[in-house]
Amino acid sequence: MKKLYIETYGCQMNVNDTEVVFSILARHGYERTEEIAEADVIMANTCSIRDNAEQRIWGRIDYFNTFRKAKPALVVGILGCMAERLKDALLDTGKVNIVAGPDAYRSLPMLLDAVCEGHPQINVELSREETYGDISPVRIDKNGVSAFISIMRGCNNVCSYCVVPFTRGAERSRDYHTIVREACECVEAGYKEITLLGQNVDSYHFEDVDFAKLLEMVARISSTLRVRFSTSHPKDISDAVIETMAAWPNICHHIHLPVQSGNDRILEKMRRRYSREWYLERVAKIRELMPDCGITTDAIVGFCSETEEEFRDTLSIFEEVGYDAAFMFNYSERPGTLASRQYPDDIPLDVKTRRLNELIELQNRLSLESNRKDVGKVFEVLVEGPSKKDPSELCGRTGSNKMCVWADTAHKAGDYVKVRVKDCTQATMLCELA
Ligand code: SAH
Ligand code: SF4
Ligand code: F3S
């Protein structure tokens, strides 16, 4: 057996893709290692979403190459979105032996065989069909509690700032039979939580099954299986999805609903295809059917031509929704996107960063306020394992996706436990067994 080491960057879909790659290569004599120094093949599954994500990978490529001294036959491979975006430019560095895009992983055994004969290999073909539906991923997350299942690939939305449609290709949904089968396998293997993944899960459709129906099919598998999903697009999240969530007690009440901006002119320019009013109506619908639903978001500050006043609209929509948590970013121009071709990246970095800090500060307050509202309440949480800070404590999440920690020696990862919130920080609910 040869030893394969993979580092994974970017979104949860990349984590799941790495699991697919381990599965494909396990059948071809490659065994997973977590020790980079003993690897015969070192790969990075990469992300291109922002420039700094790519800069990080360049540093890692140099680092991987330091292992060639001890191992001249070492193979360095770049997978994922950066492979797809940069293609031959990665091989031209002379530091990379294999470049494989997100739809090319079935060819990895062939590429590896060919590379062993001394020639660098590249496959960045995108596909309209590939979903790796028949492949059971080798789970890399250690706790054995929570598993990712990709239900679709690619994206057809073409938001003007976003590189994903270029790196992942056209949207395609995976056959629901294979999704349900994989979820059943996870349950049999002891997993308690499944997260269904897609760039826009609400546009899932395979034959006559839409996302609401798929959610129900997965929820039906076992009442002790928690079902989560990500990411919802505000323009597509349907009443049927919200109703299905409200109807099934094992579908977690958490929706990640990236707003990106609170200003209509910017939303239009981003090509998000919803308005502030539409977004707030979706939030109202969610809250109407599930008052306890966690709502989290992503936002970009300093998008092309964003004025101070328009940025204030992002602050005000954060305040109005009262998000439980958020990921917030400076706009990063990505080559090839509509925005990069049509609009100058004209907000100075210091202005972007000042806006970002202001938004982060606001969100910190909102997260704390949201957690404070839960003090005194009892939640059922799924134990993920020992807490990071104190091994005598366990940690686990509420359905709404809030992290809880509590002193406990009686339970273990995978148990459901009732806890009462005693106190909180902005990031964590400090609890006791209820
Ligand atoms: N499919 C998801 C987003 C996936 S990318 C959706 O449509 O919501 C994750 C997040 O990265 C996005 O929500 C966005 O906030 C951020 N992002 C994407 N492109 C970006 C860019 N060019 N600059 C800064 N942030 C970006
Ligand atoms: Fe990118 Fe928009 Fe697709 Fe999300 S929906 S992946 S932001 S193009
Ligand atoms: Fe990054 Fe590709 Fe995911 S660009 S966010 S790894 S789809």
Assigned domain for 387 exists: yes
Domain range enclosing 385? 378-433
Tokens of 142: 């250690």
Higher pLDDT, 25 or 388: 25
* Ligand 3 geometric centre to CA of 386 (Å): 29
Q: What is the mean pLDDT of the chain?
A: 97
What CATH number is attached to the domain comprising 45?
Answer: 3.40.50.12160
Last residue of a domain, one of 65, 97, 123: 123
- Burial classification of residue 430, based on how many CB atoms lie within 10 Å of its CB (0-12 exposed, 13-18 middle, 19 or more buried): middle
**What percentage of the chain exceeds 90 in pLDDT?**
97
Q: Which ligand is nearest to the CA of 337?
A: 1
237 in a structural domain: no
Domains held by the chain: number = 2
What pLDDT does 204 receive?
Answer: 98
Nearest CA to 1 out of 37, 36, 41 is that of 41
* Pocket flag, ligand 3, residue 48 (CB < 6 Å): yes
| Cα–Cα distance for residue pair 188/17, rounded to 1 Å | 21
User: Is 8 close to ligand 1, i.e. is its CB under 6 Å away?
Assistant: no
pLDDT at residue number 18 = 98
Identify the band that residue 271 occupies on the pLDDT scale cut at 50, 70 and 90.
Answer: very high
User: Is the Cβ–Cβ distance between 166 and 84 less than 8 Å?
Assistant: yes
Among 63-72, 112-121, 315-324, 342-351, which stretch is predicted with the lowest mean pLDDT?
112-121
- For ligand 2, is residue 152 a contact (CB within 6 Å)? no
40-91 pLDDT, tens digit each: 999 999 999 999 999 999 999 999 999 999 999 999 999 999 999 999 999 9
In tens, the pLDDT along 141-198 reads: 778 999 999 999 999 999 999 999 999 999 999 999 999 999 999 999 999 999 999 9
The pLDDT, as a whole number, for residue 118 is 81
Tell me what pLDDT residue 117 has: 82
Domain membership of residue 54 (yes or no) is: yes
Which residue among 48, 50, 157, 261 is best mutated to probe the pocket of ligand 2, counting the most ligand atoms within 8 A of its Cβ? Answer: 157
Amino acid making up residue 364 = N
334 neighbors 161 (Cβ within 8 angstroms): yes
Lowest mean pLDDT among 41-55, 113-127, 207-221, 284-298: 113-127
Indicate which residue's Cα is closest to atom 11 of ligand 1: 49
pLDDT at 142: 73
Nearest-atom number in ligand 1 for the CA of 200 is 1
- Please answer whether residues 13 and 2 qualify as being in contact, where contact means their C-beta atoms are separated by less than 8 angstroms: no
Is there a domain that residue 305 lies in?
A: no
Q: Is the CB of 166 under 6 A from ligand 1?
A: no
Asked if 244 and 232 count as a contact pair (C-beta separation under 8 A), the reply is no
- Whether residue 316 is contained in a domain is answered as no
Residue 37 located in a structural domain: yes
Which atom in ligand 3 lies closest to the alpha carbon of residue 48?
Answer: 4
**Ligand 3: centre distance to CA 123 (Å):** 18
- Closest ligand by atom to 57 CA: 3
Say yes or no: CB of residue 233 within 6 Å of ligand 2: yes
Contact 57, 78 (CB under 8 A): yes
C-alpha of residue 306 to centroid of ligand 1, in Å: 17
Domain assignment of residue 47, yes or no = yes
| Per-residue pLDDT tens digits for 91-142 | 999 999 999 999 999 999 999 999 988 899 999 999 999 999 999 999 987 7
The residues, any chain, with a CB within 8 Å of residue 117's CB and separated by 6 or more, are: none
Measured from the CB, is residue 49 less than 6 Å from ligand 1?
yes
What's 401's domain CATH number? 2.40.50.140
Which pLDDT score is estimated for 143?
81
| Its pTM surpasses 0.95 | yes
Domain end marker among 76, 104, 123 = 123
Does ligand 3 lie within 6 Å of residue 49's CB atom?
Answer: yes
Residue 170 lies in a domain: no
Atom of ligand 2 nearest to the CA of 155: 3
- Residue finishing a domain among 78, 103, 123: 123
